[in-house]
Amino acid sequence: MPLSLSELVAHPLVTIGGSIGRDVLYDAHVALKQLGTATRIAWQTDQPQTLVNFVRVGLGVGITNALAMSVPDTAGVVVTEVGTPADGRTAAVFWNPHRDTPRAAHALLEAILATPPPRGTVPCRRSHQHHARPGSPHRSEG
């Protein structure tokens, strides 16, 4: 069972992205801001491995997205889910099925559709509108 975001705010946090006080909000910042509770961001970095290293030496509790945590060496730290998928972000690819798609874009879209979602992510349910394959300008779904 994932930890709740409210459990984390009792600890100094290590986050990815931005400078403290700037208006740039990364995934963790958006989720924490929605809590409406004061949080203590002790350290910020742009590198997932640095986040893990800060946590490993006891500078705080790290929070970032699951995809970023698939990259660093996490030996010696505990990695667990926090919050719900609604607390995260949605990434999607869109195209107009009624227009011709350049070959390069077609190849990229086909590769995306054929690739399983990265570990640590939750696939979104496709709507009927998104079933048209790239490069099929006259296909429509009913």
Q: Is the pTM of this model over 0.75?
A: no
Instruction: Give Cβ neighbours of residue 102 (< 8 Å, ≥ 6 apart).
Output: none
Residue 32 has pLDDT above 70, yes or no: yes
Contact 3, 10 (CB under 8 A): no
What is the number of H-type helices and E-type strands within the chain? Answer: 4, 3
Phi then psi for 67, rounded to 5 degrees?
-65, -40
What single-letter amino acid sits at 75? A
User: What's the pLDDT at 70?
Assistant: 84
Q: Which CATH class, in words, describes the domain spanning 5-87? A: alpha beta
Query: Domain extents for the chain?
Result: 5-87, 90-142
pLDDT confidence tier of residue 21, bands split at 50, 70 and 90: low
User: What's the pLDDT at 24?
Assistant: 62
Q: Give the model confidence (pLDDT) of 101-140 as tens digits.
A: 889 988 998 898 888 887 767 777 665 454 445 444 333 3
User: What's the pLDDT at 140?
Assistant: 34
Contact 84, 74 (CB under 8 A): no
Q: Give the model confidence (pLDDT) of 43-93 as tens digits.
A: 999 899 999 999 999 999 999 888 888 889 999 999 988 877 776 677 777
Q: Please state, rounded to an integer, the average pLDDT across all residues of the chain.
A: 79
